[in-house]
Amino acid sequence: MLYYYIIAFIVAIILVYASLYFIHRDDIVLHQTNMYNFDFSLLYNKQPIIIEDSVKELDEVVSLWFSPNIVSKYLIIDEIWKKNNFKYTIIYSIKDTEITLSHPYNNIDNYDPENPLFPLTTIKLKNNKFIIVPFKWKYNIENTNSVIVYGIHDYITYILDVFRIAQ
C-alpha cells in the first residue's frame, strides 16, 4: 500500500513540475549575447536569446550545449505561425531573414495590432547567426528555405509532445 502512495507522490511532483513549463513572464526581453559569454541561466528566463557570433558549425554547438537533451533537426512547413512545442527551438539562418516572435500569451488568431496584449517582435537574423526560442513562444519565418531549425526536448516536453498535451 505504501508503494502506491510513493508512486502517487512522485507523479504529483512531476505534474507540478510540468505545469511550471506553462508559466511565462509578463514582459518581453530579447537577450543578446555571444558564444563565449553565453550563460545557461538565461535559458531559465523563458525569453528568446540571440547569439550574435557567426557560427559555421551549429551541429557542434548544439551537441556541446544540449548533449543531455533530445535533439532533432526538422523542416518547417510553410505555416503562418508555428508554436514551439520543444523546450527550445534553435533557428539558424543560412541567409539573412526576418523572424517575428510572439509571446506565448498572445492569441495570434485574434491578434489586434491596435490593442495587443503583447506586441509582436520582428528581428532580422543575419547569415550564420541563430536564435533560441523558448517553449510555447510562437514564431513566423519570412523565408523557411533560409533557415535550419533544431528542436530540443527535455524529457518533460518530450512526454508533453508525444501525448499532444502541449498543443
Q: What is the pLDDT of residues 13-35, one digit of tens each?
A: 999 999 999 999 888 899 999 98
In angstroms, the CA 74 to CA 150 distance is: 6
Model pLDDT, residue 166: 65
Model pLDDT, residue 163: 84
In angstroms, the CA 71 to CA 59 distance is: 10
In angstroms, the CA 35 to CA 57 distance is: 12
Amino acid found at 56: K
- CB neighbours (10 Å) of residue 160? 21
pTM, entire model:
0.90
Nine cell digits for residue 64: 556541446
Going by C-alpha positions, the residue among 88, 46, 51 that lies closest to residue 70 is 88
12 membership: H or E segment, kind and range? helix 2-19
- CB neighbours (10 Å) of residue 60? 10
In angstroms, the CA 60 to CA 144 distance is: 22
Over residues 142-159, the pLDDT tens digits come to 888 899 999 999 999 999
Over residues 43-97, the pLDDT tens digits come to 999 999 999 988 888 889 999 999 889 999 887 766 788 999 999 999 999 999 9
